[in-house]
Structure 1
Amino acid sequence: MRPSPAIPPRNCAFSPQAWRGSRTPCGLGYDGAHPPSGRAAIHTPSSTPTPTPTPIRRLAVVDLARGVALLAMALYHLTWDLGFLRLTPENLALTPVGRAAAHGIAGSFLVLVGISLVLARPGRAGRWRPYLLRLARIAAAAGAISLATVFLFPDSWIFFGILHCIAVASVLALPALVAPLPLVGLAAALVLAGPHLAALAGSPALLDAPGLLFLGLGATIPTTNDYVPLFPWFGFVLAGVGLGRVALPRLVASAIGTIAPRGRAGRLATAAGRHSLAVYLIHQPVLLGLLYGVAALAGPHPRAGEAQFRREYRANCAEAGGGEAACRVAARCVVERLRADGLWRAGGGFSAQEQGRAIALSRTCFREAGGG
């Protein structure tokens, strides 16, 4: 007789899981400032005129793209919040589709960070001060988020999220602003492939040390509510730098470079993209505040957590030697009997007495489903 599958811990089955491999899906870019007008070269009959680089002005289309990415990020966070507060049957943000969307949103933000670095181009006359001020604001915001989450989520606090990644990447990417473009492309490809290359080589245990988790090259995926390590995500910033260096001069000279959104939605998205750090810091507390009120009035969805419970039960069932069909039937049976016995709740854990009763129900369902 096979052992019955373990009941998934309720605190595991219903607590929010950290978005791993990537977060939380948000990010900020640098805003390009108007470059100071340069002094014209003095020409003499015997001298060769020194070409003056064409200044790249602030592009509304880049702000608009960042605003659209912010909207996508806010929708993802709304989905996550609804699942976290058990207002939906399942946290769709934690499904494979939801994780893929989060990766796409984070990648788009980081590409825009690289493009915006090209626009800002620290190192040209008068550009270091705006760059350093933006860097200081992002680093301060990242530190504030870490400090706040230490108190709010001590078991999953954010030690290297999207803002931390942007701050560090914005410094590491500076050489890419002047390096040969083929070298920038090669570096981007290597960083993007870094985790896979490390896995193929057998990641040394040293890379799993807490102080090196920000690299993302170890085998350990830390428990944190936002994890955007340098590998592979810095590769998106480098790709953005390369794309910006190639495309921005052409974009400035094209009709697209002169686009200025006229509709209300376009102007709002452009303004949000121009002030992306403020939008990022404000939107999630606002969403959670509103949804906490909804949750207090409406209560959890009656089927909240059920899909996740069934998945975890089926995994435990398979480990116990049950077949796929039997595990599926047993999972449905356990949920129904937990409800009938008043043991099903949309959150919280089992007491010792309830745990014993739940295990007995699991054994019965497993046996009736043909699991042994």
Structure 2
Amino acid sequence: MSDTAGDPPYSAPSVRRIELLDLARGLALFAMASYHFCWDLEFFGYLEPGTSTQGLLKAYARLIAGSFLFLAGVSLVLAHGWRLRPAAFLKRLALVAGAAAMISLATFLAIPGSFIHFGILHAIAASSLIGLAFLRLPWLATLAIGVICLILPAVYRNEAFNPVWLSWVGLFTVPPRSNDFVPLLPWLGPFLIGMGLTGLAVSRGWTERLASVGTGASRAALATRFCGRHSLAFYLVHQPVLIALVWTFSQINPPPAPDPLPGFISECRISCEASSSVAFCNQFCSCVTDELLSQNLFQPFVTGRITQESDTRIPAIAEQCTARFK
């Protein structure tokens, strides 16, 4: 009976490994490493502030995040079908969630003002838990809900989701400060779309055809597939290695002393434009910058010595500038 008649969309995962999936995951990892390398260069002062968070690099980062979540959705279906294997699922979940917690702790100790409280690994772990509810649904329903998840943050936001303990949902009006923020919405969308399309592929027998497709025996292909099969280890190791390389280079050839002002204004505008017009954000960010400078608060704020939570003057300035130009 067809899954469109109400049967589960797939009855069991394929027993054959799909090399194309390993290859795709490996390519996504290499793309992520290239983006993080640009971020590291910016962090150490070799690129202009805001370079990695706007324009083509911003779109590049979003495409990479979407591909990881899409592939995670694909993998959930291929690993379990509609017959969940609890031991295997919990083992994988513990690895991903444990790695996410470790990253949160490490970044909190290193950069407490913008630590990673809900990054890509957090999103994958949360999406995997939610994805369990979709394993038995028809693929079309899963696909449709995935599309809704993509659209929802664009049409509805609420200030109730602004606190950091709720911002991870993704319906905030003011995004939190974080060096890697991947909220559940809209990023649950590509995960469910991956699940839905894989459900369609399994129900039509396309996965067996994909499993029969070779990806070559060249060293590049073998290395890419190897990284794809060990994606979590690659994720955890690559950034410390890249940072160590850039740091070593900085000891030999130090970057010019950075001016924090352009970077602050750029980050302010990026955050503001998530919920307001470009014209308002230009005026608002100029106002906030001028007030911080006039009250000798700019340097303490950008260096993290004071925050919005620790110094009431910061939110007061934001409210004053909002009222002036709204």
Greater gyration radius: 1
- Structure 2 Cα separation of the partners of residues 232 and 193 of structure 1: 7
- The Cα of 1:123 is off from its aligned counterpart by 5.7
- Pick one of 221, 225, 229 that aligns with 1:270: 225
Question: Could you say which residue in structure 2 is the equivalent of 1:181?
Answer: 139
Q: How does 1:1-372 map to 2 (within 5 A)?
A: 55-89=14-48, 92-121=51-80, 124=83, 127-199=85-157, 203=158, 205-248=159-202, 250-254=205-209, 257-301=212-256, 308=263, 319=283
- The Cα of 1:184 is off from its aligned counterpart by 1.1
- Structure 2 Cα separation of the partners of residues 62 and 164 of structure 1: 22
- The Cα of 1:225 is off from its aligned counterpart by 1.0
- The Cα of 1:291 is off from its aligned counterpart by 0.6
Contiguous gaps of at least 5 residues in structure 2? 1-10, 270-278, 287-301, 305-326
Question: Could you say which residue in structure 2 is the equivalent of 1:6?
Answer: none
Q: Is the 8 A contact 1:89 1:301 kept in 2?
A: no
- Structure 2 Cα separation of the partners of residues 310 and 171 of structure 1: 38
Q: Is the 8 A contact 1:70 1:276 kept in 2?
A: yes
CA offsets 1:123-166 (integer angstroms, 9 cap, x no match): 637x3212111110001001111111111011011111111110
Question: Could you say which residue in structure 2 is the equivalent of 1:25?
Answer: none
- The Cα of 1:257 is off from its aligned counterpart by 3.4
The structure-2 alpha-carbon separation of the partners of 1:220 and 1:101, relative to structure 1 and needing over 3 Å to count, comes to same
TM-score by length of structure 2 reads 0.74
- Structure 1 Cα separation of the partners of residues 232 and 198 of structure 2: 21
The structure-2 alpha-carbon separation of the partners of 1:299 and 1:348, relative to structure 1 and needing over 3 Å to count, comes to farther
More deviation in 132-141 or 115-124?
A: 115-124
Percent identical: 38
Q: Is the 8 A contact 1:56 1:252 kept in 2?
A: no
Q: Is the 8 A contact 1:261 1:270 kept in 2?
A: no
- Structure 2 Cα separation of the partners of residues 206 and 306 of structure 1: 31
- Structure 1 Cα separation of the partners of residues 50 and 86 of structure 2: 43
- Structure 2 Cα separation of the partners of residues 348 and 183 of structure 1: 47
Q: Is the 8 A contact 1:114 1:240 kept in 2?
A: yes
The structure-2 alpha-carbon separation of the partners of 1:309 and 1:140, relative to structure 1 and needing over 3 Å to count, comes to closer
The number of residue pairs the alignment matches comes to: 268
- Match of 2:114, SS state, is coil
Question: Could you say which residue in structure 2 is the equivalent of 1:328?
Answer: none
- Match of 2:16, SS state, is coil
2:56 partner amino acid: V
Contiguous gaps of at least 5 residues in structure 1? 1-51, 323-346, 350-372
CA offsets 1:38-87 (integer angstroms, 9 cap, x no match): xxxxxxxxxxxxxx857342211101000000000000000110111012
The structure-2 alpha-carbon separation of the partners of 1:86 and 1:198, relative to structure 1 and needing over 3 Å to count, comes to same
- The Cα of 1:256 is off from its aligned counterpart by 6.0
Q: Is the 8 A contact 1:135 1:167 kept in 2?
A: yes
Q: Is the 8 A contact 2:33 2:238 kept in 1?
A: yes
The structure-2 alpha-carbon separation of the partners of 1:84 and 1:121, relative to structure 1 and needing over 3 Å to count, comes to same
Q: Is the 8 A contact 2:19 2:211 kept in 1?
A: no
- The Cα of 1:90 is off from its aligned counterpart by 5.3
- Structure 2 Cα separation of the partners of residues 311 and 227 of structure 1: 17
- The Cα of 1:122 is off from its aligned counterpart by 6.3
TM-score by length of structure 1 reads 0.65
- Structure 1 Cα separation of the partners of residues 74 and 13 of structure 2: 16
- The Cα of 1:269 is off from its aligned counterpart by 0.5
- Structure 1 Cα separation of the partners of residues 107 and 216 of structure 2: 37
Q: Is the 8 A contact 1:69 1:109 kept in 2?
A: yes
